[in-house]
Amino acid sequence: MKKSGKLAAVILSAMMLVNGISLPVAFASSSNAYVEVDENYDPFADEETQPKEVDTSKLTFKERLALQKQQEEQKAKRKVTVANVLPGHIYIPKGTMLNVELVKDANSKTHKKNQQVDFKTTDNLIINGVVVIPKDTVGIGYVYEAQKAGGFGRKGVLRIAGKEIKTLNNIAVPLRKGLEGKGKTDGGAVVVAAAVSLVGGLFMKGSNINYPAGTDFQVEVRDNVDLGVTPDELAEAMNPAVPHGQEIVVNVK
């Protein structure tokens, strides 16, 4: 009994070593760029749900009058301006979906958490008849979660979130959502009851997930984005022939 217990401990240690030792080595030697992100923010989390509408058919006449008065008061207090946008300015609405595709392959075996992943738009984003983000504009994404496949049928996991893309007039557009998937388990779930099961589990590999270059997905605009122009100024501001960027003035005496 003691021998089988020791054997199980040795095998478990070997499994942990095989599945875990490659991470710091690959991270330290990787030449790929990594993205700084808020570790407490989940780009794949659902947005806050709106309160359900009250079924007025179940209310008394007095309760319906009180509800109507409450709704009218709330409507009167509601701001007419859009959050984060100056009055009169054109903006990209929060929740706008952008169709994009990966620029290069991404794999759960090789990619690491927070590693930068580039994508490009597959359609123009057009606002009021003006192209704001052209097709083939490259944006920045990052690996939100990565896990390579391992022993005991552990699946590979790779979730790529959108981070940012820029408009023609160099306005940064924050993004969320993205691409997510899991590999397959080789042989299903494993129940470990003895040392023999541990040995078998080590050789029962799950599969990694691979997204080839050109994989289509969508990213979502995270907040309302003020484009810094009025409707009359939009076309000129988005003219690709007009240079955009940081401008300085040097006075020469």
Band (pLDDT 50/70/90 cuts) for residue 182 is low
Residue 80 exposure: Cα atoms within 13 Å on the Cβ side: 3
Which pLDDT belongs to residue 233?
95
Structural domain boundaries in the chain: 2-45+90-237
pLDDT at residue 23, rounded to an integer: 35
The phi-psi region of residue 189 (left if phi > 0; otherwise alpha if psi is between -120 and 50; otherwise beta) is beta
The larger pLDDT score, comparing residue 245 to residue 241, is at 241
Q: Are 44 and 177 in contact (CB under 8 A)?
A: yes
Confidence (pLDDT) at 210 = 92
Q: Highest mean pLDDT: which of 69-73, 146-150, 175-179, 240-244? A: 175-179
> pLDDT exceeding 90 applies to what percent of the chain?
47
Report the pLDDT averaged over residues 38-48.
82
Each residue's pLDDT tens digit, 154-171: 788 999 999 999 999 999
What is the pLDDT averaged over residues 205-219?
89
Q: Phi and psi for 198 in degrees, rounded to 5?
A: -65, -45
More confident residue, 97 or 17: 97
Three-state DSSP class for 141?
strand
Average pLDDT (184-195) is 43
- Say how many residues make up the chain: 253
Rg of the Cα atoms in the chain = 26
- Distance, in Å, from the CA atom of 222 to the CA atom of 171, rounded to the nearest integer, reads 14
| Three-state DSSP class for residue 144 | strand
| Check whether domain 2-45+90-237 has CATH 2.40.128, yes or no | yes
pLDDT value at position 242? 82
pLDDT value at 38 more than 50? yes
The pLDDT of 117-131, averaged and rounded, is 96
Q: Say which range, 11-15, 128-132, 165-169, 244-248, has the weakest mean pLDDT.
A: 11-15
Q: Write the CB contacts of 101 (distance below 8 Å, at least 6 apart in sequence).
A: 119, 120, 122, 213, 214, 215, 216, 217
Find all residues with CB under 8 Å of 9, minimum gap 6, and list them: none
